Amino acid sequence: MIFYFSGTGNTRWIASQLAELTGEKLLFIPDELQGEMHYHLDENERIGFCFPIHGWQPPHIVRDFIRGMAIDNAQGHYCYCVCSCGDSIGLAMNLLQRYLAKKDLHADAVVSIQMPESYVALPGMYTDTPENEKRKIDNAALKIKDIAPRIINREVGVTDIIKGHIPWILTHIVGAFFNGKMITDKPFRVDADKCVHCGVCAGSCPTKNIVMSYGLPVWQHQSCTACLACYHHCPVHAINYGSTTKKRGQYYFKEKQA
Ligand SMILES: Cc1cc2nc3c(=O)[nH]c(=O)nc-3n(C[C@H](O)[C@H](O)[C@H](O)COP(=O)(O)O)c2cc1C
């Protein structure tokens, strides 16, 4: 089984490609969080986790899920983690291994895959150019084809990640601050004059944190992961996150890009 989270679709695509190649079933973490989160693995079943990197760490929602899940028979099962990132992941996989260890799991393979950038809410952060988007997706497709057989063959000790410079500082100082203070829906605003009341924002939210009220989105301050899916999917750029995104592009993964 593959547990995955995705905001703007990059990781959903990676996870579904892996599911197709490995024959494993896909489980969406926000849906799983609504259930019992109690699992039993079949004989020789592999367990995978796919998620985007948020501030050089696994997103809160992924950590909460692992913390809350129970697997009857985790020990001895092949486990792998594949994350998507715009650039680098710091020590996110070390952090994740600690969460997994508490569930008798250890990731035998850890892989990061660069995909188009989705975080644009801070100065200096932009969507990729169309050329870069294409290059990243083409390379990602090759990387998925490379790692799938290694996962199928249960290769142990696979480490194919881009940590970036100063990874400890990125994960434990910058990332800790980012994840502690900046994962919030409070900066979201909708321009009521531009909004076309289509509800695409609410539909794109992976955690159902948006309800439409009088034709406008209202963020519920409950489960936002700051993935910016609502911002990126808005067909008329009526949603912003603070003021920085007013001058930023939009991106979400479209099947035809792959
Ligand atoms: C809140 C947030 C934080 C992010 N932090 C990082 C980061 O630390 N390093 C990085 O390389 N990419 C970062 N990104 C980019 C995403 O990891 C990347 O675009 C990913 O492929 C998005 O996956 P998704 O489409 O499945 O949500 C961040 C994106 C968001 C929304």
Let me know whether 43 and 132 are in one domain: yes
87: helix, strand or coil: coil
User: Structurally, how many domains does the chain consist of?
Assistant: 2
Same domain for 106 and 206?
Answer: no
| Residue 51, beta-bridge partner list | 83
Q: In terms of pTM, does the model score above 0.85? A: yes
Of residues 29, 31, 40, the one with CA closest to residue 67:
29
Are 88 and 192 part of one and the same domain? Answer: no
Closest atom of ligand 1 to CA, residue 56: 8
**C-beta of 56 in contact with ligand 1 (< 6 A):** yes
Tell me, what CATH number does 245's domain have?
3.30.70.20
The burial of 254, by beta-carbon neighbours within 10 Å (0-12 exposed, 13-18 middle, 19 or more buried), is given as: exposed
- List pLDDT tens digits, range 181-235: 999 999 999 999 999 999 999 999 999 999 999 999 999 999 999 999 999 999 9
Q: Quick one: which H or E segment has residue 33?
A: none
User: Rg for the chain (alpha carbons), in Å?
Assistant: 18
Q: What is the per-residue pLDDT across 89-127, written as a single tens digit (0 to 9) for each?
A: 999 999 999 999 999 999 999 999 999 999 999 999 999
Q: Which of 121, 146, 180 is the last residue of a domain?
A: 180
Rounded to the nearest integer, the mean pLDDT of the chain is 97
The answer, yes or no, to whether residue 255 has pLDDT greater than 90, is no
What domain range includes position 104? 2-180
Which amino acid type is present at position 157? G
Task: Say if residue 218 is in the same domain as residue 168.
Answer: no
What percentage of the chain has pLDDT greater than the value 90?
98
Report CA(216)–ligand 1 centroid distance (Å). Answer: 26
